[in-house]
Amino acid sequence: MNPKIAVIARVGAHRPFEAAGLEQLGVQVLETPYGPSRPLHFFRHKGLEFALLSRHGEAGYEISAPFLNAKANLYALKALGIQKILAWVAPGSLQEELAPGDLVIPHDVLDEGRGGPHTFFTGVGWGFIRHNPLFCPEMRASLLESLQGVPFKVHPQGVYVATTGPRLETAAEIRKFRVLGGDLVGQTLVPEVFLARELEFCYAALTYVVNYAEGLLNRPYQPGVLFEGLATPEEMAKVSALEAAFPELILKVLPALAAAPRACPCPRLLERYRLRGDIGEDWRTWVR
């Protein structure tokens, strides 16, 4: 077993692949300097091996975004030899043209959260790296190419505004995020994307819109339903259809993502510190 690519998804992401009859290669929980990782499920499909990790829980939504242990999860993937990560994320929309049930491939992030520091490199003199392009350009290009022809609307870019949670955003905050140029809002990609870059992963996100954000449209409060009425039953049906297509979409894009040559900057983001002698080739000695 030697997977080079992993999918980090939401809840119980392994179950639909098991139901589809994919070859299962095992499950591991790795102990790391930051605590145990989430369970890592390994599959093989048409000769391609990949790992799958559910951020929020195996059976249900067990832990919300601000309490995820992204450091442990990413350390575990790096220790297993993973080089590329596809993040499957479900944000809200700040723009009416990005509708529930649409796919969006974000190209940038606005970090409006209150957490931190979002780094493996505490108390040392390295880790100051560029974040443009933030997401791996090769993986984004492969996503755009391989998603042609899917029965969902695909938006080729978007600015993801990251908030802390677990509370949802106020209508005033959403108005601010729109003024700042945001297109999506969520609580998952940060700090994960920044930490992934510090370990020199190729990392890209495939997001699907689950609702319009607070105040964008007039939506009465409805106790007892998902997001308390931010999404209509019709919109929720579109989201459910896309969620049901999750394994099909992932298996469609993974071969192209895995085949990309890594000629991007991602594997050399810390090269300046290697040349300077601050870090060596063993990445385990970098982190604190």
In percent, the amount of the chain with pLDDT more than 90 equals 90
pLDDT tens track for 111-158: 999 887 889 999 999 999 999 999 999 999 999 999 999 999 999 999
Cβ 3 vs Cβ 40: under 8 Å: no
Q: What is the DSSP string of 27-88?
A: EE--EETTEEPPPEEEEEETTEEEEEEEEEESSS--S-GGG--HHHHHHHHHHTT--EEEEE
- Please tell me the predicted confidence (pLDDT) of residue 71: 97
One-letter amino acid of 111: D
Cβ 207 vs Cβ 162: under 8 Å: no
Q: What is the DSSP string of 162-225?
A: E---SSPPPHHHHHHHHHTT--EEESSHHHHHHHHHHTT-EEEEEEE--EEPTTTS-----TTS
- Please tell me the predicted confidence (pLDDT) of residue 53: 97
Rg (CA), the chain: 19
- Please tell me the predicted confidence (pLDDT) of residue 13: 93
Q: Measure CA of the first residue to CA of the last residue in the chain; give whole Å.
A: 29
Cβ 204 vs Cβ 83: under 8 Å: no
pLDDT tens track for 193-214: 999 999 999 999 999 999 999 9
d(CA 205, CA 203): 7
- Would the pLDDT of 288 be above 80? no
Cβ 51 vs Cβ 77: under 8 Å: yes
Q: Domain segments of the chain: what residues?
A: 5-285
CB neighbourhood size of 244 (10 A): 10
- Would the pLDDT of 233 be above 80? yes
Compute the mean pLDDT over every residue in the chain, rounded to the nearest whole number: 95
Q: In the block, which residue shows the tokens 């029965």?
A: 151
Q: How far is CA 45 from the centre of its chain?
A: 21
- φ, ψ of residue 206 to 5 degrees: the values are -120, 110
CATH superfamily of 5-285: Nucleoside phosphorylase domain (3.40.50.1580)
pLDDT tens track for 257-286: 999 999 999 999 999 999 999 999 999 999
> What is the maximum span of the chain, computed from C-alpha positions, in angstroms?
59
Cα–Cα separations (whole angstroms), residue 242 to 72, 253, 254: 29, 15, 17
pLDDT tens track for 6-62: 999 989 999 999 999 999 999 999 999 999 999 999 999 999 999 999 999 998 889
pLDDT tens track for 171-188: 999 999 999 999 999 999
Closest CA to 271 of 59, 128, 79: 128
